[in-house]
Amino acid sequence: MEYHRITSIEDPLFRSMHELMQEVFPPEEVLEFGLWKEPLEDPGIRVFVAVHEGKVVGATEYRYYEDFNVAMTDFTIIGRSGLGIGPFLAKQRGKDLEALAAENGVKLHGMFAEIYDPYQVGEHEFGGVKPMDPFVRREVLSHLGYKRLDFEYVHPSWNNDGEAVTGLDLCFLPTDDEQDRLSAELIVSFLKRYYAVLPNRPQSWYDMVKRLEAQSEVALLPL
């Protein structure tokens, strides 16, 4: 299996990846085709696909923030079962992030991810691919070491229509698996940076950030 980076919407594999995203994710979670041009050309945003026998069978997008020394996994897609796509993407992403942190002269602190709460979003079919089932994904990510940040999470719709999207938890994968709390200041700084691209954010998002700003730390809980 090949781990191929996509840096342009002109890459023929990008259309296949975008179609896979539309099959797997709900509409409000998928940025429209043309709006991908600038993100793909941004050197800080890393989009890779897993290519098996010439076809895109999986994908992941993530980014590394040098000043925070944390990463964010935007999404991971497993398009087919039985190929080991999930472990392949996780391993390749981990190696890439470790190298980026090393170039920054540090060891990676950890990685954020939004993870569906299956008790709220169990109706999503996610393309009918069982590894994408929210119950399965949550269990797998728990085994990988992700922990849930202890606050009610809301994020702006990627449709940039000002709607609030719920049914997810903001989670964190600490490099130190004994870590059980995370700086609220880091979380706030990260969220403001991450969602700066969406000017139309719901009031509930601002309320969430305000509550976080009143805290010093946030507990990391089991998934």
Distances (CA, A) of 157 to 163, 165, 187, 195, 205: 6, 6, 19, 10, 11
Q: Within 10 Å of residue 91's Cβ, how many Cβ atoms?
A: 12
Gap between the terminal Cα atoms of the chain: 30
Residues 21 and 126 in one domain: no
Q: Is residue 48 part of a domain?
A: yes
Q: Is residue 70 part of a domain?
A: no
Q: What is the pTM assigned to this prediction?
A: 0.84
Residue type, 187: I
Residues 139 and 199 in one domain: yes
Residues 146 and 100 in one domain: no
Residues 122 and 157 in one domain: yes
Residues 113 and 194 in one domain: yes
Helix pair angle (203-213, 184-194), 10° resolution: 150
Domain that holds residue 29: 1-64+81-105
Q: Give tens-digit pLDDT for 177-214.
A: 899 999 999 999 999 999 998 899 999 999 999 999 99
Coil, strand, or helix at residue 149?
strand
- CA 216/CA 218 separation, integer angstroms: 7
**Which of 105, 137, 171 is the last residue before a domain boundary?**
105
Distances (CA, A) of 15 to 22, 51, 63, 223: 11, 13, 21, 33
Q: Is residue 72 part of a domain?
A: no
Total structural domains within the chain: 2
Residue 143 — very low, low, confident or very high, per pLDDT cuts 50/70/90?
A: confident
Residue 15, token pair as written in the block = 């259309």
What pLDDT is recorded for position 23? 83
Q: Is residue 96 part of a domain?
A: yes
Q: Is residue 205 part of a domain?
A: yes
What pLDDT is recorded for position 50? 96
Q: Is residue 167 part of a domain?
A: yes
Residues 91 and 132 in one domain: no
Q: Is residue 33 part of a domain?
A: yes
